[in-house]
Chains A and B, each alone.
Chain A
Amino acid sequence: MKRTYLGEFEEVVLLTVAVLGEGAYGVAITDELDRQTGRAVSISAVHAALHRLQEKGMLSSYLGDATAERGGRRKRLFTVTVLGSRTLREIRAVRDQLWDSIAPQTLPAVSI
């Protein structure tokens, strides 16, 4: 497989950025992750992941407006790049392919 490797956390963060669309920045992403996955993530971990994703070229960012609750500081807003979206799609394709290849009744049934 010739593609940039994405860690599980990175993948989730990348997806969350996509979910949030226009308003993806540190605090919002952390909250959304918390809400969607139910796991408590630290803000610094999110920042680190965003930083890494940006270095890998999967996210781009720009500085947004300053707000009062941020003490007059601007937020950095993230959007998923073409590379980012292709990677996500590839991951999904691989997953789907794998799911399709599983013979029926192989996995034990899980009652929800």
Chain B
Amino acid sequence: MNAQPTPPHGANRLLEWFCAPHLLEEVQGDLHERFIRNVTLLGATRARQQYGREVLSFLRPFALKRQPREYPSFSLLSPAMLQNYIKIALRNLARNKAYSAINIIGLSIGLAAAMLIMLYTKDEVSYDRFHKNNPAIYRITSQALTPAGNTSRMEPYTGYLPGPKFHAGVPEIKAFVRYQEDRKDMKQGNEVRSQTVYSADASFFSVFTFPLLGGNPKTALQNPRSVVISEKMAETHFGTTDAVGKTLFFKNDDNFQPYVVTAVAKNCPQNSSIKFDVLMPMIVSQDEMANSENWFSVFMNTFIVLSPGANLNAVQSKMNQVYVADASESIVEMAKKYGITEKTQYALQSLTDMHLSKELPASNGLVDESNPTFSYILSGIALFILLIACINFVNLTVARSLKRAKEIGVRKVVGGARSHLIIQFLGESFLLCFVAFVFALALVGLALPTFNQLANKALSLAYLFDTRLVLAYMALFIATSLLAGFYPALVLSGYSPVATLYSRFNLSGKSYLQKSLVVLQFSLASFLIIASLTIYSQFNFLTSKDLGYEDKNVVIIDKSNLKRSEAKLFKEELLKNPNIVDVAPKNGGRWGTVAKVNGETQLNFEYETINDNYLPLFKIPILTGRNFSTDFPSDSSQSVLVNETFVNVAGWKKPIGQVVDFWFRNEKYTVIGVVKDYHYESLNQTIKPQLFTMNPRNSYGRAFIKLKPNTETASLHYIENVFKKLFPLHPYSYQFLDQENIKRYESEAKWKQMMLFGAILTIFISCIGLFGLATLSAERRTKEIGIRKVLGASVSGIVQLLSTDFLRLVSLSFVFAFPAAWYAMGEWLKNYPYRIDISVWMFALTACIAISIAFLTVGWQSLRAAMTNPVTSLKSE
């Protein structure tokens, strides 16, 4: 017999869905009956169509209307049930103090970490967004293109010309402002202080939004002798913020000149890349503006405002047209003079993209340059911590559910539906999360100062009260509650009431999820331990590696334009004090230049201007040849020293006597000695070719003073007196070289602390979770332990029995953590030219730490279980 044709499935489903249950049977039966008849009368196809039409015709009120049930079901949210849920939840929390504490502590730490990171991220992305002209504010940037058309260098800075020239040549550019950092000596009473000042064009306050407390934003920077100061500066200098019209003295051309305060600006917001205390008008001479070589001199930031609706690409190409037209001559000239083959192409960078940009960072007068990687790593750690806390919750709730199995059974028997139980358990997780959330807020408040210090921020709690952030926290709260509560709710609500009430219920056998979650927790924790160990050793390596010179007891004194005679006098005066061992001058800052070797090869190198006792002071050895010497008066005009790298790069076999040709100055020097390579920069950078000269045309900018050990206080007093006597109009400040060297690794130090915190927190939360699980497992096996003891098991045997399971899981986690950590740390170390090797001992140590901490947590519980008198555990049934 042929298969009977059936009514269309979809139509049937539709009918079943909309038709009231009490009518469904007869209606569906009638339709079916007619369908069967229609199949014989009309054929299957038309019968199906007819069926569909008839189903649709039943879309009438009578068929849709549901009959009221005989026994009304409980509303999910009836007040009585809600009250019951809350009561039971609170009783459970109060009764199982240990578990509640573990969950709440874990979750609040996790939530606090996540909240801090959100705060941090919010601050990071909010940088420079407060300007009213956004998103029309851009920074002029450029890139150097090789003749092949590849980008060889990204240049975030500009010189004097691009701003005004582009403003004049591109109609879409409404305004420009150049912004440059500088230092000026400022007189305060009789004190001379070196003050960071910024100069900007008069349009500064119309481009950027920095509210003024007093003064006119339009005219504040018009007069060349005017100055705008910050609220803070006004407070410290004048004791009042009402400082408009008062006078400050700054050094200009060797004498102090009065500057009139034309405006007092509110302190710059925390999330601003532009932070100034003193702002002056930018003065650029006509000569500078006319000199088209200035297109190639790049040292500050220039911002522009585009008119509304301007096309960015069109503006950029117009800018490049202006540049090519204006600089055409000097492009040719520079190519001839310095052999520059690269082409410059100008572009615009949105102000709001600046803060987190890696290629075009906000520096050179702009502050708080930030690396987005740091945000990612922080978010990763916070996520780890939160995840581990959620895992604790899931594991403990499921493991503990045995105790609540009876409650679930009874609820089901008296008519609780599964959905009610899910709501109940989810509600409990929400309650717990809420408590944790409150604690987390308190924790954030407590941890914020430390966090600020680590993250180099000035965040405050008031920052929290921001609609978006509050919403984000709400989302975080809900997500955590669901993440932690959903799985247990699903599992617990699925228990069969019969099994639970007959006490035939056990959880053994299928705790794979629990086990894998524990493995995950410890993998994350071990990963972070290895990460912090690696960062620690790398940091130690960086800070303790032999730099190739002695930086102990060396004081640096900056004095701009230190003349040869001054340096000599300064040294003579200082050496009168027996505590001062030696004095050596050097150029200020870092100089680099280019010269020809082997005839025509151009070589870039670090250009150091020193004198004959610079190298001996630092105990930097000379490998071949000799040091500069006063015995050879021609040294200063004819001789240079080079370092080993220079020799290697130049490819010299016999360095002594080679010629270095400064062709553009028409000067030639002979190499008289090779200096052993030393780390003149931080260890994050490779040693580059270095050339030492005594060229009298180069001025010194700082003096290194070697002291006898433990004479710092007296020596510094003496140095200060000498300095003030000799250079009364110059600001005096000193630094210790070894401390400066340490400061170069501040970012590593920060990473180190962050990682350490992260590792400690994750391992802590993982362990309290493990502790909870161990306690539960010991409780569950009380009788078993009792019987084992009665039959003669030893305490150590029982401890071993109870701990092995957990320790095995912890060991398993290494399988996942070690390769991941090995890879990640390898990648991180690649950032350092001088680095440690990842060694086996880190992994071994991590394994030791993780296993011993886990053993301590589990072992203590196991020991307690093993020590109980079997009588107590066996007598009660």
Contacts and interface: CB of A to CB of B under 8 A. Distances in A.
A109 B24 CA distance: 50
Interface stretch (A1-9, A47-55, A95-103): A47-55
B67 to A, nearest CB: 11
Interface string B54-69: 1001101011000000
B33 to A, nearest CB: 5
B30 A43 contact: yes
B27 A47 contact: yes
Given A27-B34, A44-B63, A47-B63, A74 B29 contact: yes
Contacts of A71: 28-29, 32
A48 B60 contact: yes
A69 interface: yes
A69 B32 contact: yes
B470 to A, nearest CB: 54
B80 to A, nearest CB: 35
A47 B36 contact: no
A73 B29 contact: yes
A44 B54 contact: yes
Interface in A6-59: 25-27, 30, 42-45, 47-48, 51-52
B46 to A, nearest CB: 15
B29 A47 contact: no
A53 to B, nearest CB: 11
Given A27-B34, A48-B62, A51-B62, A42 B28 contact: no
Given A47-B63, A48-B62, A27 B25 contact: no
Contacts of A27: 30, 33-34
Contacts of B57: 42-45
B54 A75 contact: no
B26 A26 contact: yes
Contact of B31 (A25, A43, A45): A43
A63 B25 CA distance: 10
A70 B32 contact: yes
Contacts of A51: 23, 62
B54 A42 contact: yes
Contacts of A25: 26, 30
B29 A75 contact: yes
By size class, the interface of chain A is 20 to 34
A89 to B, nearest CB: 27
B62 A74 contact: no
Nearest to A48: B62
A30 B26 CA distance: 14
Contact of B30 (A52, A66, A75): A75
Given A27-B34, A42-B57, A47-B30, A73 B25 contact: yes
Contacts of B63: 44, 47-48
A75 B33 CA distance: 10
A74 B32 contact: no
Contact of B36 (A30, A42, A52, A69): A69
Query: Interface SS of chain B: helix, strand, loop or mixed?
Result: helix
A42 B63 CA distance: 14
Given A48-B60, A52-B62, A43 B34 contact: yes
Contacts of B60: 44, 48
B21 to A, nearest CB: 13
A67 B32 CA distance: 11
A26 B62 contact: no
Interface in A65-92: 66-67, 69-71, 73-76
A26 B54 contact: no
Nearest to B29: A73
A75 B26 contact: yes
A64 B54 CA distance: 23
B26 A73 contact: yes
A74 B26 contact: yes
Interface residues of B, number: 19
Query: Interface SS of chain A: helix, strand, loop or mixed?
Result: helix
A77 to B, nearest CB: 10
A12 B32 CA distance: 24
A30 B27 CA distance: 13
B29 A44 contact: no
Contacts of B62: 47-48, 51-52
A93 B817 CA distance: 95
Contacts of B37: 69
Interface in B33-48: 33-34, 36-37
Contacts of B31: 43
A70 B58 contact: no
B30 to A, nearest CB: 4
A48 B58 CA distance: 9
Nearest to A46: B30
Nearest to B24: A73
A25 B25 CA distance: 13
A66 B502 CA distance: 40
A25 B34 CA distance: 12
Question: Which of B36, B60, B62 gathers most chain A CB within 10 Å?
Answer: B62
A30 B57 CA distance: 15
Contacts of A66: 29
B54 A73 contact: no
Contacts of B27: 26, 47
A74 B30 contact: no
Contact of A47 (B32, B33, B58): B58
B61 to A, nearest CB: 8
A39 to B, nearest CB: 16
Contacts of B54: 42-44
Nearest to A42: B57
A90 to B, nearest CB: 25
Contacts of B26: 25-26, 47, 63, 73-76
B32 A73 contact: yes
A29 to B, nearest CB: 10
Question: Which of B26, B27, B31, B34 gathers most chain A CB within 10 Å?
Answer: B26
A59 B60 CA distance: 20
Contacts of A26: 26-27, 30
Contacts of A42: 54, 57
Nearest to B28: A73
Interface string B603-640: 00000000000000000000000000000000000000
A51 to B, nearest CB: 5
A25 B29 CA distance: 11
B60 to A, nearest CB: 6
A69 B30 CA distance: 9
A67 B62 CA distance: 25
Contacts of A48: 60, 62-63
Nearest to A52: B62
Contacts of A75: 26, 29-30
Interface in B637-696: none
Contacts of A44: 54, 57-58, 60, 63
A27 B29 CA distance: 9
Nearest to B36: A69
B778 to A, nearest CB: 57
Contacts of B34: 27, 30, 43
A26 B54 CA distance: 13
Nearest to B6: A71
A93 to B, nearest CB: 30
Interface string B271-312: 000000000000000000000000000000000000000000
Interface of B: 23, 25-34, 36-37, 54, 57-58, 60, 62-63
Nearest first, the 7 closest Cβ-Cβ pairs linking A and B are A73-B29, A26-B30, A70-B29, A76-B26, A44-B57, A71-B32, A69-B36
15 contacts: A25-B26, A25-B30, A26-B30, A27-B30, A42-B57, A43-B34, A47-B58, A47-B62, A63-B25, A66-B29, A67-B33, A69-B32, A71-B28, A71-B32, A76-B25
Given A43-B57, A45-B57, A73-B28, 16 more contacts: A27-B34, A42-B57, A44-B58, A44-B60, A44-B63, A47-B23, A52-B62, A66-B29, A67-B33, A69-B32, A70-B30, A71-B28, A73-B25, A73-B29, A75-B26, A75-B29
Interface of A: 25-27, 30, 42-45, 47-48, 51-52, 63, 66-67, 69-71, 73-76
